[in-house]
Structure 1
Amino acid sequence: MGILTCTLCREDSLAIDTDYKPEISCLQQSKNQELKRLGNVVQKKIGEIQQAGHAVCKDNQFFECVLPTCGFTCSVHFLTPCVLLALQSRKSFVIAFRNVTSTSDFRHIKREIFETSFFPVDNPCNALYIPTPIEEIKGNNSPFEFDLTSVPDDVKRRVRELHSNPMAWWMGQAAYYLLKLRPEVGAKIDEGFDFTQQIVGVHIRRTDKLKYESEYHSVEEYMAPVEDWFNQREIDMMGKKNLPRKRVFIATDDPTALDEIIEKYPEYDVSYDQASIENAFNKHSRYTDVGIQHVALDVFRLTRCTFVVCTMTSNICRLVFELKQVKNGDDTQSVKSIDWRYNYHKAALPSWHVVTIQHLPSHGNELMLEVGDRIKPMTQDWRSGYWKGMNERNKKIGIYPANKVVDFQNIR
């Protein structure tokens, strides 16, 4: 049996400055191409289920997904499991938008506002018909388990084999189906920006997020990985004539963060959408058609960046990470979170955590972790970066760092 040899290939789609193109192995390149092919199969299957449900719009042919009271990307992450549940149940989903008029209920996203920027992904069924309860669709599975009966077994198997974070790939497929931009909106992504050359995206989430879910992080914390990334590029290009320009795209809800970066990092070319920052800063305008459009544009701009620095406590960061897996194949190394590792559903506890890095306790209430240990999560603390749970190996209960475990993800 012969041995397959593989040399390095140039990835033209990631081409950057004249004398520098990141190299990717032929093996990884073929894996990414196969992941894109599998993605096309999944997108077609979702569409078939949705269209079949619309054609026979009657009792038990569809189930309803109710939008929560939260922002745009938060709502997307509540809807993505519905897409996977459609693949599991072979029933189409209908989004229940809340039609509220009270000014105190501004955090509800209305259908007409969503569909100003995106094509409809469902076809609301006649109110005379009663949808199947979503609880019946979910069954007893945890939020991290899906039995995708409508997807061929070989597709699920190949995704597990090819991608380093299969759940991120599946969530990306679900989000990609939901977020079909209207052409006039999609045309604005590149207006005034150049994503054909290497550029690092930085998403800084502050304002109301700091009250409940996230810690404050200085611009220096965000820019440190950016500096490291460009320093590595300079090492890669050592001896070549044209060093890459240091370019960053900033998306934030805090205008002072942008001002600080411009002042403290004058060697960088800084690009940003001023209107987007102003809309994000105003908690009321975020939920208007213009505000949601700006958030969506920032998300898609960040997915076009060569490398992204953000915080996974933010739904925007997690959505960018997921969509990058659809766009580029296995692209998990192109996003750096300065707080949490990727977790597809922040509001739910995974069935298990699997330890990837050994941990020696520094305090009496910490667990000792060995690579491969399975931990049953009990509670989470987004601010401290620690979970509390039980180590299945020795049945001990304690806290453990989130950056040394990954979620157990089960797509059957």
Structure 2
Amino acid sequence: MIVLLVLWLLFLFIAVQYLRQEPDQNTNQRISQVLRDLQSLHRQREEISKLLSEYNSANAPMKQEEKEALLKSIQEKVIQPEGLVGSDGNDRDDPPSLEYEKTRRRVRMGVEEMWFFVSNQIRNIQKKAQNVSPQITSQLSKILDEGVEHKRSLIRDVNRLSEVDGFHSWRLKEAVALSDLVQRRLSYLQNPSDCDNAKKLVCKLNKGCGYGCQLHHAVYCMMVAYGTQRTMILQSKGWRYNKGGWETVFRPVSESCTDVSGPVQSWPGNENTPAVLLGIIDSLSPRPPYLPLAVPKDLANRIAKLHGDPAVWWVGQFLKYLMRPQPGTTLMLRDAAVKFKYERPIVGVHIRRTDKVGTEAAFHPVDEYMMHVEEYFKQIELTQKVEKKRIYLASDDVKVFKEVVSK
């Protein structure tokens, strides 16, 4: 057990040292900035203490408006500290390196994975020792309880890195800019100036499966359309989830090019084929090279720098485009949020129990899900106040809801 803990600490030390590898000039600038921040915080602490003393003073009665003005001054000092690294006024102009961003995320993942390993090994030892030495079992429980607190503290500090390293504003701006770029590309491809002569990829939303599966089918079609630079024609009339078709629920995938005239050739066709029909992805041959985990070469580095799982971000952009809601859908979702009293923080839990269990997925008890939910809330409680712990539960088994309530 001691060996495991030593290995964990050694890993964290190496990771943090690696994170800190920057040009000497940058390192010196960071150290100087941190020292200035400490001095600024010290001055603000003295100012806040003085303001609080005045506010609580019983010897100098104050009018209500004077108290409110003083209280506002205190709040501004607490909420908006001046001159801190990572604040809007001190963010760096240059973006972080790709290796820095990857390393920062690896450190976080390493802390999580190391704790999964160590805690699992301790629990295995507990099971073996419970009938032999209850005292050892009790000690191991104490180690687990204290160990997870240290893990949460480390995760909090690693998360904090992204806020104080000077690149926080860049990440926010890049997330918006990169997503906007992809959305513009999709819109341009889906709305050609000359629909009659535009090359098209026909996708039929008739796959015999559930909503999520059909959504995957539509996403894959659009990814292939992007890769082949064709306008996707989504044929969805008679859709099992709305007979009126996709456009009844979501905005049309194209405002100007929604049908195909002339012959349609089955996949793969060739680059000169006017219209190609893309069948169900599962049985396509040859398989398109544009499906996950593929990302476009010209955006690969930007995506990898911004997101820890580039393929997930890339798929998300197609979902963002496809699932733009119609006004009626937006209203329905807002009404549902009000009805369900949807407030943050909230954890979404999807418990699949029917057709997938025993085939594609294993059975997991409710307690296993809730353990992760509880850990999430304990983690965020280190940085924010949680008035009420909420979950949004989705399941295909009605008995699950009763089971969750009873826990």
Q: Tell me the residue number matched to 1:51.
A: 191
Amino acid of the structure 1 residue aligned with 2:259 = C
Between structures 1 and 2, the one with greater strand share: 1
SS in 1 for 2:350: strand
Alpha-carbon distance in 2 for matches of 1:216, 1:70: 21
Deviation at 1:90, TM superposition (A): 1.6
Deviation at 1:167, TM superposition (A): 0.5
Which consecutive aligned stretches of 4+ in structure 1 deviate over 6 angstroms post-superposition?
A: none
Cα 1:146–1:220 shift into 2, 3 Å: closer
Is 1:97 the equivalent of 2:230?
no
Unaligned runs of 5+ in 1: 11-21, 101-107, 265-412
Alpha-carbon distance in 1 for matches of 2:209, 2:87: 44
Amino acid of the structure 2 residue aligned with 1:91 = R
Cα 1:2–1:62 shift into 2, 3 Å: same
Alpha-carbon distance in 2 for matches of 1:251, 1:191: 17
Amino acid of the structure 2 residue aligned with 1:37 = A
Is 1:223 the equivalent of 2:370?
yes
Between structures 1 and 2, the one with greater helix share: 2
Cα 1:221–1:136 shift into 2, 3 Å: farther
Equivalent residue for 1:120, pick from 249, 252, 256: 252
Counting only pairs closer than 5 Å after superposition, residues 22-61 of structure 1 correspond to structure 2 as 25=163, 26-52=166-192, 55-58=194-197, 61=199
CA contact (8 A) 1:61 1:91 kept: yes
Query: Which digits, 9 at most, give the CA deviation of each residue in 1:330-374, with x for residues without a partner?
Result: xxxxxxxxxxxxxxxxxxxxxxxxxxxxxxxxxxxxxxxxxxxxx
The percent identity for this pair of structures is 26
SS in 2 for 1:250: strand
Q: What's the TM-score once normalised by structure 2's chain length?
A: 0.51
Alpha-carbon distance in 1 for matches of 2:344, 2:242: 37
Alpha-carbon distance in 2 for matches of 1:7, 1:113: 51
For CA contacts below 8 A with separation 6 or more, give which structure has more relative contact order.
1
Cα 1:139–1:161 shift into 2, 3 Å: farther
Is 1:255 the equivalent of 2:398?
yes
CA contact (8 A) 1:63 1:132 kept: no
Alpha-carbon distance in 1 for matches of 2:87, 2:373: 25
CA contact (8 A) 2:237 2:245 kept: no
Structure number, greater radius of gyration: 2
Equivalent residue for 2:218, pick from 73, 76, 79: 79
Q: Tell me the residue number matched to 2:346.
A: 199
Deviation at 1:230, TM superposition (A): 1.7
Q: Point out the more displaced range, 169-178 or 84-93.
A: 84-93
Alpha-carbon distance in 1 for matches of 2:286, 2:172: 33
CA contact (8 A) 2:345 2:386 kept: no
Q: How well do the aligned residues superpose, as a CA RMSD in angstroms?
A: 3.2
Is 1:188 the equivalent of 2:332?
yes
Amino acid of the structure 2 residue aligned with 1:130 = P
Counting only pairs closer than 5 Å after superposition, residues 210-359 of structure 1 correspond to structure 2 as 210=357, 212-236=359-383, 243-264=386-407
CA contact (8 A) 2:349 2:393 kept: yes
Q: Tell me the residue number matched to 1:88.
A: 227
Deviation at 1:223, TM superposition (A): 0.5
Cα 1:145–1:200 shift into 2, 3 Å: closer
Unaligned runs of 5+ in 2: 1-24, 31-83, 89-158, 271-284
Aligned residues: 236
Q: Tell me the residue number matched to 1:355.
A: none
Query: Which digits, 9 at most, give the CA deviation of each residue in 1:63-83, with x for residues without a partner?
Result: 112331111111111121222
Q: What's the TM-score once normalised by structure 1's chain length?
A: 0.50
Amino acid of the structure 2 residue aligned with 1:65 = C
CA contact (8 A) 2:203 2:221 kept: yes
CA contact (8 A) 1:202 1:222 kept: yes
Alpha-carbon distance in 1 for matches of 2:354, 2:263: 40
